[in-house]
Amino acid sequence: MAVIDTKVSDESLVAVTLAFVKAHFLLVAFSAVIVRALYRRYVSPIRDIPGPWLASCSRLWKVWSTYNGHTELDHIALHKKYGPIVRTAPSEVSFGSPNAAKDIFAVGKGFHKTKFYSVFPPKHAPDIFTEVRESKHAQMKRYAVTPYSLAQMQKRSEPIEGMIKLLMEHLEKYAATDSKRLCNLGNLLHYFAFDVLGEVAFSRRFGFLEAEEDVEGSIKNIDDVQWYDGIVGHIPEFDVFLRNNPLRPYLPFWKPQPTTMTKIAIQELEKRKQPDGTYDSSGIDLLAELLRAHEANPEKFGVNDVFSIAHGAVFAGSDSTASTMQSFFYLLLNSPHAYAILQREIDEAQKAGQLSPIVTYAEAQKLEYFQACLKEAMRLRPAVGLGIYRRVPPEGAEIDGRFYPGGVEVAVNGWVLHRNRAVFGDDIDTYRPERWFERDAKLMASHMYQFGGGSHLCIGRNLALFEMNKVLIQILREYDITLAHPGRPLQYHSTFFVVQEGLEVYLRKRVA
C-alpha cells in the first residue's frame, strides 16, 4: 500500500496557491474585496435592516456622506425612505426613534463610545469628549463637573459680560450711521463665542472680536481639523497613515501647526507653573479650578487631564455655541411673526423694569417666548451635524423592542430625532416657537439631543446656555435687525459641528 507524504502535498498546495496569487494578484485582491463585501451584507446579524446597498457592505457610504458636508440631510432622507431603523454601515444601525435614543443613552446600559472618537485631537491627552475608555471618561468628568456647573458660570459673569459689552460696541459701529452698513452678524457671533471661551477657560481673550477677523486662521484650522475628524473617524484604522503617521514629526512640510488657542493654552499652563513644580491655582477661570482639582487628586487627575479639558472646552464649545446663535437669528429673522412677538415680550419686560443693563440668566429664563424661540432653533438646526455613535455591550442589548448582538454600532442624529412627528408635530420642518406652548413641552424637551444624552451629556451645556441667554436678548433689546438677503439659506457644512456663514444683516438702533 502506497504511503502519501501529506507534508509534501501540503507544501505543494501552498506553493501552487502562492504562485497563483502572485500571477493573478489583482484578480485575487478584487475577488477578496467582493467576497468580504458580500459576507458583510448577507451574513451580518443586521442583514435584514434596510438601507443603501453600499452601506451594507462598506463604510464608504458614511465617508462619502461626511465628505460632501451635509450628512445630516442624508440621514433625514434615509429615514424618510426606509423608516426609523436604517443600516448605515456593515455593522452600524441608525435610529430615528426617540425610544431607541432613550435605550442607547440610558445610564448604566453599557453603550460605550466607538473608535470614531479616537481620531480627535489631542491624541496624547484625550478630553472628556474624545476619551473612549469609559472608566477614564467617568473619572475626568467627576473632576470637571463642578467647574462647568451653572453656579460656577454665574461666578464668571463679569468677564462674560465684559465680552458682551465689547460685542455691543462693535455692533454699534454698524448702526451708527444713517446709511445702511452691512454687518456680518454671523462672523461677529463666531468671534464672540471664541473670545468668551478664552475668558472663561484662561482669563484671556483670543482677540478675534477686537480685530473682527479670524486671527492666524485659527477658526478655519479648527474647521479643517474637524473635517478630517468627521471623515477619518468612520475609518479610524487609517489615522495611523494620515494625521497620526509616526513619520510626520520628521517631515518639515507636514508638521502640524498649533492654533492660537492651543498656543495660549500652553502658555497659560506654563505661566502658572511654580519653581517647585506645583501650579498657581488661584482665580475663577476654568484652568484654575481644574488645577485645584489636580492638587486635591494628583494621582487620578493629572496635569495632562487639566490641559486637555481646558483646551477641549474652546474647541468644542465655541463652534457649537456660535452655530446655535447663528441659527437662532437666521430662523427668527425669517419669521416676521415670531420676531414681532419676541420684540414685544422683550419691550414689555424692559418697561416693567425686569431687565438689568446686562441681562441676567435668571431674567432671561422668565421670558417664555424667547425660551421657546431658542429651543425651536436648537430643535430645527442642532449644532452637531454628524451622528452620536455608540457600541452595543458584549452581552447584547434590546433597543426599541429588538435585540442587537454585542459589537453592533448604533447611532442617532439630532437632525433626525428632532423631526419626529409623534413628539414634535406634523410641521416638523417649520420654525414655529408656538409648538412649545401647544404641545407637551416637557416631553419634547426630553427628546432633544442638541447636547447629546445620558452620561455623555455635553459638559459645556451650562456655559453655552448661560452665554446665549444673556447675549441674544441684549442684541434684540438694542437693535432692530433686518436680513440683508431675506430667505437666502445660510451657507453651511457639517464636519462634526455645523459650521455656518452668510448671516448678513442691517442694524438700526431701537428707540426705547
Q: pTM of the entire structure?
A: 0.90
Position 208 scores a pLDDT of: 94
**Band (69; pLDDT cuts 50, 70, 90):** very high
Strands 409-412 and 92-95: parallel
Burial of 216 (0-12, 13-18, 19+ CB in 10 A): middle
**Band (288; pLDDT cuts 50, 70, 90):** very high
DSSP-assigned letter for residue 276: T
Over range 430-456, report the average pLDDT: 93
C-alpha cell at position 275? 519653581
User: 233-253, pLDDT tens digit by residue?
Assistant: 999 999 999 988 888 878 777
Show binding-site residues.
458
List the one residue out of 189, 456, 197, 452 whose CA is nearest residue 310. 197
Position 33 scores a pLDDT of: 55
Show binding-site residues for heme.
458
Regarding the domain delimited by 106-382+418-509, which CATH topology (the fold level of the hierarchy) does it fall under? Cytochrome p450 (1.10.630)
3-state helix, strand, coil in the chain (%, to 5): 55, 10, 35
Contact between 193 and 203 (Cβ < 8 Å) = no
DSSP assignment string, 104-153: HH-TTS--EE-GGGGGSSPTTS--TTT---HHHHHHHHHHHTTTTSHHHH
DSSP-assigned letter for residue 314: H
Over range 487-498, report the average pLDDT: 92
Position 395 scores a pLDDT of: 96
Position 35 scores a pLDDT of: 57
**Band (30; pLDDT cuts 50, 70, 90):** low
Contact between 410 and 106 (Cβ < 8 Å) = no
**Band (27; pLDDT cuts 50, 70, 90):** low
Residue 315 has pLDDT above 90, yes or no: no
List the one residue out of 313, 373, 408 whose CA is nearest residue 45. 408
**Band (400; pLDDT cuts 50, 70, 90):** very high
Determine which helix (DSSP H) or strand (DSSP E) holds 491, and give its type and residue range: strand 491-494
For residue 23, give the amino acid letter. A
d(CA 66, CA 234): 9
Spans of all domains in the chain: 106-382+418-509
**Band (336; pLDDT cuts 50, 70, 90):** very high
Using the structure block, give the residue that is written with the C-alpha cell 451622528: 387
**Band (267; pLDDT cuts 50, 70, 90):** confident
Mean pLDDT of the chain: 89
